[in-house]
Amino acid sequence: MLELKNIGVNFSGRDILKEVSITFHPGEIIGLVAPNGTGKSTLMNVIMNYLRPNSGKVLFNNELEYTSKKNEVKIHQLVSMMPDQSDLYNHLSGKQHLKIYSSMWNSNPELIERTIEDLGMASYVNKKTGTYSLGMRQRLCFAMQIVSDTQIMLMDEVMNGLDPTQVEIISQILVKKKAEGKTIIIASHLLENLEKYANRIFFVKNGKLDLIEDIYKDLGINGNLVIRVKEGTPELKEKLSQDFPELNIQLLSNSVTLIDFPKDDDGKLERISAFLSDHHEQEFSVGKMTLVDLYSKYYH
C-alpha cells in the first residue's frame, strides 16, 4: 500500500503539488491525467524520492518512509518507475536490458521469456536497442518494469509511440498485473484506454488530485448524461442558449458542444433534436459524458 500524506512541492514560488493526501491500494490501477507540466511526473518523482517534497511524506506498507538511505533502498525494492525510452543503452540488446532489471530486483528469471512472448518482442529482443523504433523501445521499457516485478509500478506515458494493437496488449498485461495485486500508477493521455481498465482516474489541477467521479458530481451534470454535438461553434451555443435558457450548454476546447440532458424531458429532447437538425448539426448523440469531454471541460 502506498500512502501520500500532505505532499507539497513548490518550484520558484509556484505550487506544483498542494497538500496531496491519498492512498493507493494493492490490486489497483490508478490513472493520472493532466496537461503537460501540471505535476504528474513530479508526483511520481516524489513517490520515488527523486524529488524531496517541501512538505509531507510518502508511506509504504504503513511502515516505510524515506527517512534514511537504508530505507530508500528497501522502498526501491517495492516500487519502480518505468525508464524513459531515450535512456536505453543503444549498444546493449533488449534482452540484456531485461536481464539487468530482473537481476537488480532479483525477480523470477522466467518472467523475462514470458514478458518477451506476451509483448511479441522475440523477433528483435536480441538486437541492439540502437536499431529499435520508438514503439519497440517503449515496449522494452514497459517490459523492463514488468520483469522487475515490484509491488508498486509507476508508468509515465507508457503508451507513447505504440500502435493500437500494442496499446491493447499492454493494457491486457496491466490488467493481469492488477489481478496479481500490483499497484500500478499510470500517467497517460490515452484517456479512452485509461478509462477502460483504471480503477480510479485523477485529474491533476492546481496542485491537487481530483477524482473524476467527484468532478462529475461537482459539475452537477445530470447523471453524467449529456447531448454531445460533435462539431460545435460559438454561434450554435449562442442560439441553443437563447432557445433553451434552462439548459447548461458548454462549448469545449475540442469543439464539442455539451448540452446537459434535460431532467424533465416532456418533449424537450425532441425539440433539441429538431433544433440541431434545423441547424445542420446531424452528428450528435446522447449518452454518458466521455473522459475526453470531461478533460476538455475540466481544463478549459
Of 68-76, 174-182, 202-210, 243-251: span binding other proteins (CB under 8 A): 68-76
- Residue 81 found at the interface with other proteins (CB under 8 A): yes
- Residue 91 found at the interface with other proteins (CB under 8 A): yes
Q: Which of 22, 64, 104, 167 binds other proteins (CB under 8 A)?
A: 104
- What single-letter amino acid sits at 148? S
- Residue 11 found at the interface with other proteins (CB under 8 A): no
Q: Are 169 and 117 in contact (CB under 8 A)?
A: no
- Residue 247 found at the interface with other proteins (CB under 8 A): no
- Residue 96 found at the interface with other proteins (CB under 8 A): yes
Q: What are residue 156's DSSP bridge partners?
A: 187
Nearest CA-CA partner of 208 in 80, 70, 40, 60 = 40
Task: Using alpha carbons, list the distances in angstroms from residue 59 to 7, 64, 185.
Answer: 11, 6, 15
Binding-site residue total for other proteins (CB under 8 A)? Answer: 30
d(CA 64, CA 80): 15
| CB nearer other proteins, residue 74 or residue 114 | 74
- Residue 54 found at the interface with other proteins (CB under 8 A): no
- Residue 151 found at the interface with other proteins (CB under 8 A): no
Nearest CA-CA partner of 152 in 58, 85, 69, 86 = 58
Q: Which of 12, 36, 62, 67 binds other proteins (CB under 8 A)?
A: 67
| CB nearer other proteins, residue 71 or residue 290 | 71
Provide the edge-to-edge strand list for the sheet that holds 14-24: 14-24, 2-11, 55-60
- Residue 73 found at the interface with other proteins (CB under 8 A): yes
d(CA 172, CA 176): 6
Residues in contact with other proteins by CB under 8 A are 48, 50, 52, 66-70, 72-74, 76-77, 79-84, 87-89, 91-92, 96, 100, 103-106
